[in-house]
A and B are shown apart, each in its own frame.
Chain A
Amino acid sequence: MNLQLNHFNGKAAATTQSVVDALYQMLDEGQIDQAQFSRVNVQLDWIQYKQNFREMVTVSRGSKGQHAAGAKESGPPVMEIRIDTRQVTPASLKSEMKRAITAAESDTQSADDRIALEDFKSFRNSIAWEFNKLYWTWLRDWEKATGKGYEQALPGGKSDGNHEDAVADSVGDFWTLLRDMETKNQLPGEIFILEIGVGSGKRCGMFVERFRSLDAQRGTSYYPKLRVLMGDYSLATLDMSRPAVKEHIELCSFLALDALNPLKTLSFLRHKILYIHSTNMYDNLPDEEMLRRDGRLFYVHVRAYIPMTEAARIAEKFKIPVGSIRGHIDKLLSIGPDAMGERACGMSFWQEVWTAIRLEEKLVAIEELPDLALPNGLDMVKLEGILDESPGDVRFHLSSGALESFVNTIPLLHPRGYLQVQDIFVTDLNDYRVGFHGPGKLDGSIVNWVNGALLRGVAERTGYDLHFAPYRYRQGSKTSILYTSPRE
């Protein structure tokens, strides 16, 4: 048995002994057999998101008999026990571990203590992302129902992207690039910039306003050449962003685009855009996780469910049978909050369900999959190369959505252009051993750290070096700023 403490603090450290005691008792009482015990990996996490998808103890395991073809392994499949040391209470630890191990015994059937909302699948295809999409589609209604804007849900209560000094520095860097191009007679007639995921539009408005001032102050005439492209998949968000750029509206275009594939909408601007920016966008794109254990790679497949106790409470509150909850959720996701009749009722149901949703997990060895569907831009050769530099046993994000977005964005860059992304990045694979990095729930949406190390590896093979600068404009900020530079 391996036990790994992923976050070191007093409570987590104290929990370690309790976990060992509980496991020993279970072994002693025959609730775990000796052979299985040898393949147990216990991860002690500290979940930083108050709202998340985890119970106090979760167990994931590989299928029975799941071994690589020709592998010399024998014995039971791997088992991973993950314990949230923030939620844990010593009195309930052992019973929770027993419950979670029993629930993980079944490969296909859902345990009686929950309502499954889907079959096991990669997280990126989970119903959880449909809730995320619903949130951005009905953002105004969510904000009205909760009484707070989405930026208030962010750590710190506002977006780091809107910090005046950060924007000023970005503008300064961009102006310097334009100046250099002008001196080399390389300045194009139209200067395209793109914001992907516009949010409130505030950041873009600040950028363009600051740019206009700097342009005037330094006596250049770049501002009239600016072509500001504001892209977002949510028309509601695009609409909400307009007032923030109203002073520059004649330079702005509002584009409904898929952040996973901006090239699809903007192919006519291939190799033309000089500056592409986004803030807190990658962390909200569909993702999935992998696990390397004893040299083998597993996909972490998930199944969303609602614990039965929560289901009963929701059913009582909305005067509906427990058995109809799944059907109401399907209607909510396809129609929106009007699905329950009164919108306010639908909003309330949505909030309750979202709070209650959890994810159970199963490990699927990659050789068991009919086909290996790695994210666009990544293949097994690249992945193995990147993992060569990581610790042996590691669970990591594939950051599928971020990778897909990245490889479908960089062809838009002008040879002198650059991409700047402000987000929460894991820049070293070793960091996955010392912290939990999502997924968590951020108000009505999903938040997931982005595997910057993987992104860097993919970028290298597509002709860019990635750099991650810690965000220095707000003390305690966990965000970094990614920017690209072309590889020679």
Chain B
Amino acid sequence: MSADMTRFVVRRLLSMLLVLFAVSVLVFLIFNVLPNGDPAVRMAGKIPTETQIEAIREEWGFDEPVYVQYATMMKKLFTGETISYFTQQNVNEEIRKGLPRTFALAVGAAIIWMAVAVALGLYSALRAGRISDRFLNVLALIGISMPVFWLGALLLYYLGYKAGIFPNGGYVEFFDDPVQWFWHLVLPWFALSVLFIGFYSRVLRSDVLETMGEDYVRTARAKGLSERRVLLRHVLRNSLIPIVTLWGLDFGAVLGGGAILTETVFNLQGVGQYAADSIGQLDLPPIMAVTMFGAFFIVIFNTVVDIAYAALDPRIRLEGRPTR
């Protein structure tokens, strides 16, 4: 990694740490400080007893000064001592259990949507204005317009429940049965990807069209490069830069909780579904933990995306230095 790049990465990592700190303070404020009322009561859940409330107050230090409360909260969240008073389960445990499922869903969907979107976007761009392009445009709009939970429910009902081709929801551990693991994820992957495919293929299409008009593409042709090389190494390489950064951000968001609806519809018992359930119960400790987890993931992915952008586009690396 060149000196420029190293400096860039270090700078980004340091600012990421700062942002993570700020996020943690914000989460703390949102849950414990800002709302009116007694935080212990809120924490206790729907049917609190007096002793419970008192115990919570003690444990979380609500009588202590604010910064001690903050420290306590951070300690509990990060060392796995958070308990849901409603379900009596350890929150961190639950998150840990749900993480691989959310991961499987998110990673699979992300790969699918990216691969399909790039293929469709490129195809549309090369056939811009023609019928195939317009047709794909309509498809993309439909994809963007379909709500994920509606599509998911539809697929689950017709292809899962009625036709029996796919399983009727649920998740199978990979190490138990890889084939079934895969089979159970096909519909969820599809449901989650459709929206993104629609959006990304359109964005890539317009990026490619713009890039094809650039002078350096003309130069590449003038050099006598094969059309395939011109397309892949020059047009696509440059058009992908904005797409990759968008992808990183969206992936972070999906991982951080954006797949809530899909997980719930298909009953995958991932982190998203855990969050949905907890919200329904107004069970504060899990909500806090998932929020924190989600926010952290998004911040980390933002940083990864920044670094990826600099790796892809050398012009970004020179910050604050004059050219030459």
A binds B: no
Mark B residues whose CB is within 8 Å of A. Answer: none
Mark A residues whose CB is within 8 Å of B. Answer: none
